[in-house]
Amino acid sequence: MSNTLAIIGGTGLTQLEGLTILQAHDVYTPYGRPSAPVLEGVIEGMRVLFLARHGHPHTIPPHKVNYRANIWALQSLNATDIIGINACGAITKSVLDAQLVVPDQILDYTWGREHTFFDGTGDAVQHVDMSNPYSASLRELLIDGAQSSDIDIVKQAVYGVTQGPRLETVAEITRMELDGCDLVGMTGMPEAALARELKMQYASLCVLVNPAAGKGHKVITLKDINEAVANGMVNVLAVLKKSLEAYHY
């Protein structure tokens, strides 16, 4: 069976530059509507699906994203593989000077989100394996894409996912660091787990847009975050394009 790649764009990526749109799919799912119409298009000669996680324009906060509808909608359009783009703050030295990170582990601090397809309303209860939450092959694709574009990328890190939408306190970041988190964001979960539940391959490409609370020298402002996101997206797009060239259908 052939593979189809979907990209879930986060903050700063509500549309995919260079995507020639063939069709916008308005999908209704058993879980409600996804964040936006799913765009089917061609980029670098490859057919891909694109979904803006926070809607287009960006209006849905991280804790209100309908992650189940988003993942279900992508699978209903035959997506097999998903790359999620996530803006994050940097916690540890290993990532403080970096811009792009492909995490390999997750610590989930979110609460109250609809986080499973197996909520006891359907068939037998399932417990999916999440030992390694991300797809090894998609992670490799992204890392190779960065390396062949001469863009620095951190190849291993623990992504701590917080509830938001507020940023963290210094004490929270200190605790997260002690827990083993390297970076912090608000959208990595339950997206990764839901993709796993539907047996889809999933990886995350994180863009670091600020030092996390207590790790920098100034107050974190939305203006600074937005500027860093805009800068980061140039490299995100370059990595995505290179990765797509190597993607096997």
Q: Where do contacts with ligand HPA occur on this chain (CB under 6 A)? A: 87-89, 162, 167-168, 184-186, 209-210, 212, 225
Contact 86, 185 (CB under 8 A): yes
Number of alpha helices (DSSP H) and beta strands (DSSP E) in the chain = 6, 10
- Shortest Cβ contact with ligand HPA: which residue? 89
Closer of 37 and 103 to ligand HPA (Cβ): 103
Residue 69 vs residues 40, 124, 171: alpha-carbon distances, Å:
17, 21, 34
Closer of 9 and 37 to ligand HPA (Cβ): 9
Q: Residue 57, preceding bond cis, omega within 30 degrees?
A: yes
- Smallest distance from the beta carbon of 216 to ligand HPA, in angstroms? 9
- Classify strands 158-161 and 105-108 as parallel, antiparallel or unpaired: parallel
Beta-carbon-side half-sphere exposure of residue 207 (alpha carbons within 13 Å): 27
Closer of 34 and 211 to ligand HPA (Cβ): 211
Contact 31, 13 (CB under 8 A): no
- Smallest distance from the beta carbon of 13 to ligand HPA, in angstroms? 13
Closer of 88 and 143 to ligand HPA (Cβ): 88
Closer of 73 and 83 to ligand HPA (Cβ): 83
- Smallest distance from the beta carbon of 87 to ligand HPA, in angstroms? 5
Please state at what angle helix 222-246 crosses helix 136-148, rounded to 10 degrees.
100
